[in-house]
Amino acid sequence: MTGLRPGLEPRQDEIAAMMASATSFVTDFIGNLDTAPLNGLAAPGTAGPSDDVAALLAPPAEHPGEFGDLLQVFRTAAEQSADTAGPNTFAYFPGGGLFTAALAELLACTVNRFTAASSMAPGLVAMEHGVIHWFARQFGLPATAGGLITTGASTGALSALLTARRRLLGDAPYDNSGTVYVTTHTHLSVSKAARIAGLSPDQVRLVPVTDDLRMDADAATRMIEADRAAGKHPFLIVATAGTTDTGAVDPIGRLADTARAQNMWFHVDAAYGGGFQLTARGRAKLDGIDRADSIALDPHKSMFFPYSSGVLLVRDERLLHAAHSADAPYLQDMDRGTPLPDYQDLGTEMSRGYRGLRLWLPLHLHGVAAFRAALDEKLDLAESVHRALADLPELDVLTPDLTVINFRLRGGEEINRTLLETIHADRRVHLTSTRIRGEYTLRLCVLNHRTHRRHVDQVISIVRDAVRTVTAATAAAGAR
């Protein structure tokens, strides 16, 4: 095999040949996902490239390489990883990876337009703007709403926090009196955003949860009032629409009331739950979200997109702009007065990949109904997992809000760790665990667009067998 000809611009025939190899890689990869063993799931402490490390760590050569060889290195590396694209992953929030979004990415990177300023690529910015407005309408936000496509809910939370702080506490310099209200089930990205924004840990206040693991709205009001009496400046409540631990949705409407009564910003972290707004059942669960000041959602979770597909919506786009806009003399040739947003003024990035197309193309190509149907299917499948596990007398199972099912055997941490190991023993499925009120709990999430009834039947039977094996072994050990 020969490498590319020297230089940086491949010939057209070289491009076509590489595209053909890439095409067969993609079709093979997707075609084999259903039966691929989850062999990348490493045992604890062994994660890391197992063989051929030399090829993975090799520095680039001075001379051109051969695409087929390099693709093979990539294939090997990708195989040595936890599978987040296939139908048998129920770990964390399973990824998806719509092919049509990957195709969009190829096209967007090829034209490589600058979409931080709308005057540089008004057509492309209009397409992204259309996607943002469509999302805003799904959540019932008013016409003043805007936002942008982000890398994920973490950057969304940071921008929301900066916007809330500027709106309610004014401009820098900030003292450390501003306080933010979360629960122990709030995603770590919120306290991280607070840290990046310069808040100290004690400015992030932990509101207790009710028995059903949701933020206690009455307790929030009491804490906010006590903090204000003590000289603090409560400015932000973060409700979670689908927590990472259990998928529970905080009482959004009640917390919206609290935020309004206390003159605070109301951010809804819908990283996981947001996509379900497209379904009737999801809409009912997320009731009240139309009153949010800002919403972060992750199409790379509950809409099956590849990672780095996040959306931030803000009820009044001008406030997002006020918190992020900046100018400099070298931008004087750009028309900054267009009716379309300059994304550099709405977020933390300046030069940015054109993420608009990766959302726009799949939405237009598959149609919204296809997303809704896939999400309804996930809700149905999660319901049947819940029913099947709740039928096992050995298990305590939480009732899911969306598609996360938590369960554990009675008898403490060790037996539940053994249960998870037993479920993983033959590497056919991948689940994870968390802690609820300090107790080790298993966690199964149905969220991949490739997961269908037969995959869920398989995971149910694997869990059922593992429960029998573990409880029988425990009983035998007890009898000795």
- The binding site for ligand PLP (CB under 6 A) comprises 93, 152-154, 187, 189, 240, 243-244, 269, 271-272, 298, 310
Nearest distance from C-beta of residue 62 to ligand PLP, angstroms: 38
The 3-class secondary structure across the chain, one letter per residue, is CCCCCCCCCCCHHHHHHHHHHHHHHHHHHHHHCCCCCCCCCCCCCCCCCCCCHHHHHCCCCCCCCCHHHHHHHHHHHHHCCCCCCCCCECCCCCCCCCHHHHHHHHHHHHHCCCCCCHHHCHHHHHHHHHHHHHHHHHCCCCCCCEEEEECCHHHHHHHHHHHHHHHHHCCCCCCCCEEEEECCCCCHHHHHHHHHCCCCHHHEEECCECCCCCECHHHHHHHHHHHHHCCCEEEEEEEEECCCCCCCECCHHHHHHHHHHCCCEEEEEECCCHHHHHCHHHHHHCCCHHHCCEEEECHHHHCCCCCCCEEEEECCHHHHHHHHCCCCHHHCCCCCCCCCCCHHHCCCCCCCCCCHHHHHHHHHHHCHHHHHHHHHHHHHHHHHHHHHHHCCCCEEECCCCCCEEEEEECCCHHHHHHHHHHHHCCCCCECEEEEECCEEEEEEECCCCCCCHHHHHHHHHHHHHHHHHHHHHHHHHHHC
**Position 62: which residue type?**
E
Shortest Cβ 348–ligand PLP spacing (Å): 12
In this structure, are residues 199 and 128 in contact, taking their beta carbons and an 8 Å threshold? no
Q: How far is the CB of 278 from ligand PLP (least distance, A)?
A: 18
Minimum distance of ligand PLP from residue 269's CB (angstroms): 5
240 or 344: whose CB is closer to ligand PLP?
240
What distance in Å separates the CA atoms of residue 360 and residue 138, rounded to the nearest whole number?
A: 15
Q: Which is nearer to ligand PLP, 220 or 445 (CB)?
A: 445
Q: Which is nearer to ligand PLP, 247 or 419 (CB)?
A: 247
Query: Which is nearer to ligand PLP, 179 or 244 (by Cβ)?
Result: 244
Structure tokens at 288: 């009240």
Smallest separation, CB 127 to ligand PLP (Å): 22
CB-wise, 312 or 462, nearer to ligand PLP?
312
* Complex with ligand PLP: residue 116 or 447, whichever CB lies closer: 447
Nearer to ligand PLP, 86 or 156 (CB): 156
| In the complex, least distance from residue 300 CB atom to ligand PLP, rounded to whole angstroms | 6
Least distance to ligand PLP, CB of residue 29, Å: 23
At its nearest, how many Å lie between ligand PLP and the CB of residue 363? 19
Which residue, 299 or 419, is less far from ligand PLP as judged by CB?
A: 299
Minimum distance of ligand PLP from residue 299's CB (angstroms): 10
CB of 22 to ligand PLP, least distance (A): 26
Q: With respect to ligand PLP, which residue has the nearer C-beta, 118 or 163?
A: 163
CB 77 within 8 A of CB 49: yes
Nearer to ligand PLP, 237 or 271 (CB): 271
